[in-house]
Amino acid sequence: MVMDPIKAESKNLDFYYGNLQALKNVSLQIQERKITALIGPSGCGKTTYLRCFNRMHDLYPHNKYHGEIILYPDEINIISPSVDPIEVRMRISMVFQKPNPFPKSIFENVAYGLRVRGISNRSILSEKVEKSLRSAALWDEIKDRLHLPAFDLSGGQQQRLCIARALATDPEILLFDEPTSALDPIATGKIEELIMGLQEHVTILIVTHNMQQAARISDFTAFMYLGEVVEFGDTDNLFVNPQNKLTEEYITGRFG
Amino acid sequence: MGIFDDELKILRERILKLGCMVENAIRDSVKALVERDSELAKEVIKRDHLVNALDVGIDEECVRLIALRQPMARDLRLITTAMKITTDLERMGDLAVNIAERAIELNDEPQLKPFVNIPKMAEITQTMVRDALDSFVTGCSRLPYEVIKRDDEVDDLTVRNFEELLSFMIQDPKIIPLAVKRTYIAKYLERIADHATNIAEMIIYMCKGKMIRHTEISEEI
């Protein structure tokens, strides 16, 4: 079997919230331009794991990491204190559970990351904003009202706006933390299609409580429990013929 | 999840019921032939619609479970296996009807010679069907592999039966119509054994998640 290139890899990653160990020796390879889903019961560590990838945990002083998360091709350890978290977040963007647009116009929401980077040229900004909104399948719906407040959009549109905002800085990895849990099935369908389309350009890591969603959209799935990866493999195999009894119990709904 | 487990239990029971009906049809059709009992043969033909109705009922139930319960892993494999093996069972039921039809035709004629190969084939075939269904209930064991192995015995007997009848036909062409019907019956039994083999292969899939159809299974056994 020819292995696809690896985009990122956690090696023996431990994570602590103060004294509480939330991740235990997590080693996973994230393949480039594929969708990798993280599933598992609440509290299993999947969101904690996802947040390590863009240094969200740095915001709190008692959190600590051990181990490495290597980003390829330059092989930097993105959790190393010597690496600037702002730089990591430019390369690895995140979309959250609830749409969280800034209290700004639609245009300024998408342009935000670029302005932080120091881009102020109006035509470059316009071009980037349009490109990102098109990639997020939102452009046609809102191109005539770019200067209205982002809060005027529907929930599904707001979430696509957040995806556009995440795409604006041309990230290499996009992290999704239950991106459709606050959306209705139609908006969910649109986001799922969008995510599947995005993988042509960007590597995707997604946390979801919806196993059917993981089955529908991901190429690889990791099942986590009590801070550890119990099973990791091709999504097709994992949902049809899981090798681990715990995985089987969880995905057939007989857990606990 | 309790309700879903109950639904799966009922599904298993319905498959077993279908299996029982088909086993009885095979046994009675061969008995009707060997004991020249045309009434029993008619009975087999008459009962076939029950097999068909249950086959359709099980398929509908499987589709409903897939739609409403969105089964995964072993549940998914159980339901897809159920859908496939009911098709095999229904075809076995049809073949038992074919045996019964030939039995009625043969019973109207003087007996050509006592039956030797056909009862032997019927016995092996029925054991295969029973073991295949038992392994559906008991799950992972060596039983489905045994079923697959026994298919060769039935194939050999089919050939031997044909060769014997062929020599009779060469000696006395007048008996060709009767002898051909006997070769048909052997062929029906051979087909039933093939369906039992299909079921055994699906049960291995259900247990192990591995498709072994159209592959060499010697290393498995």
Confidence of residue A99 (pLDDT cuts 50, 70, 90): very high
Please give the average per-residue pLDDT across B109-135, as a whole number. Answer: 91
Confidence of residue B125 (pLDDT cuts 50, 70, 90): very high
Domain chopping of chain A, boundaries? 6-98+172-251
Instruction: Give the separation between CA B221 and CA B219, rounded to whole angstroms.
Output: 5
Rounded to the nearest 10 degrees, how much is the dihedral formed by the CA atoms of A204, A181, A43, B68? -100
Name every chain A residue with its beta carbon within 8 A of the beta carbon of B208: 241
Q: Which two tokens stand for residue B82?
A: 């159920």
**Number of CB atoms found within 10 A of residue A185's CB:** 8
Do the Cβ atoms of A248 and B74 come within 8 Å? yes
Q: Would you give the DSSP letter of residue B142?
A: S
Q: Which two tokens stand for residue B142?
A: 């060596």
Q: Does the pLDDT of residue A44 top 80, yes or no?
A: yes
Q: For a pLDDT cut of 70, what percent of chain B falls above it?
A: 97
| Closest approach of A1 to chain B, Cα-based (Å) | 19
Please give the average per-residue pLDDT across A136-142, as a whole number. Answer: 93
By CA distance, what is A213's nearest residue in B?
Answer: B70
- Side by side, the strands of the sheet bearing A76-77 are A20-31, A6-17, A63-71, A76-77
Name every chain B residue with its beta carbon within 8 A of the beta carbon of A254: 1
Residue B6: its pLDDT value, please? 92
What's the whole-number average pLDDT of chain B?
A: 92
By CA distance, what is B205's nearest residue in A?
Answer: A241
Do the Cβ atoms of B72 and A254 come within 8 Å? no
Q: Do residues A110 and A119 touch, judged by C-beta distance below 8 A?
A: no
- Counted across chains A and B, CB pairs separated by less than 8 A come out at 32
Please give the average per-residue pLDDT across B106-133, as a whole number. Answer: 91
Instruction: Give the separation between CA A40 and CA A214, rounded to whole angstroms.
Output: 11
By CA distance, what is B69's nearest residue in A?
Answer: A252
Residue A255: its pLDDT value, please? 80
Q: Does the pLDDT of residue B24 top 60, yes or no?
A: yes
Mode of pairing for the β-strands spanning A63-71 and A6-17: antiparallel
Q: Could you tell me which residues come within 8 angstroms of residue A9 by beta carbon, excluding any fewer than 6 positions away? A: A27, A28, A29, A30, A69, A70, A72
Residue B41: its pLDDT value, please? 97
**Phi, psi dihedral angles at A118 (to 5 degrees):** 95, 10
Class at the top of the CATH hierarchy for domain B2-208:
mainly alpha
By CA distance, what is B70's nearest residue in A?
Answer: A212
Do the Cβ atoms of A239 and B75 come within 8 Å? no
Q: Do residues B203 and B132 touch, judged by C-beta distance below 8 A?
A: yes
User: What ipTM does the predicted assembly reach?
Assistant: 0.72
- A6-98+172-251 has which CATH code? 3.40.50.300
Cite the DSSP H helix spans in A136-241.
139-142, 155-167, 185-198, 211-217, 235-240
pLDDT in tens, B128-156: 999 999 998 887 788 999 999 999 999 99
Confidence of residue B1 (pLDDT cuts 50, 70, 90): low
Chain A interface mutation, best of B74, B76, B81, highest count of A Cβ atoms under 10 Å: B74
Closest CA to A55 of A27, A89, A82, A13: A89
Q: Does the pLDDT of residue A191 top 60, yes or no?
A: yes
Q: Would you give the DSSP letter of residue A149?
A: B
Do the Cβ atoms of A240 and B77 come within 8 Å? yes
CA atoms within 13 A on the CB side of B146: 15
Instruction: Give the separation between CA B139 and CA B162, rounded to whole angstroms.
Output: 36
pLDDT in tens, A2-22: 567 999 999 999 999 999 999
Residue B220: its pLDDT value, please? 54
Chain B interface mutation, best of A212, A248, A254, A255, highest count of B Cβ atoms under 10 Å: A254
Do the Cβ atoms of A251 and B72 come within 8 Å? yes
What's the whole-number average pLDDT of chain A?
A: 93
Do the Cβ atoms of B76 and A240 come within 8 Å? yes
Q: b or e along B69-84 (b: 16 or more beta carbons within 10 Å of the residue's beta carbon)?
A: bebbbbbbbbbbbbbb
Phi-psi region of B141 (alpha: psi -120 to 50; beta: other; left: phi over 0): beta
By CA distance, what is A253's nearest residue in B?
Answer: B1
Phi-psi region of B70 (alpha: psi -120 to 50; beta: other; left: phi over 0): left
| Closest approach of A209 to chain B, Cα-based (Å) | 15
Chain A interface mutation, best of B1, B7, B70, B72, highest count of A Cβ atoms under 10 Å: B72
Instruction: Give the separation between CA B128 and CA B199, rounded to whole angstroms.
Output: 10
Residue B112: its pLDDT value, please? 81
Q: Which of B1, B73, B210 minimises the CB distance to A248?
A: B73
By CA distance, what is B76's nearest residue in A?
Answer: A240
Q: Is A254 on the interface with B (CB under 8 A)?
A: yes
**Phi, psi dihedral angles at A35 (to 5 degrees):** -105, 120
Name every chain A residue with its beta carbon within 8 A of the beta carbon of B73: 239-242, 247-248, 251-252
Mode of pairing for the β-strands spanning A35-39 and A220-225: parallel
What DSSP element (H or E) covers B58? helix B38-69
Q: Is A256 on the interface with B (CB under 8 A)?
A: no
Q: Is A223 on the interface with B (CB under 8 A)?
A: no
With a CB-CB cutoff of 8 Å, which residues 26-55 of chain A face chain B?
none
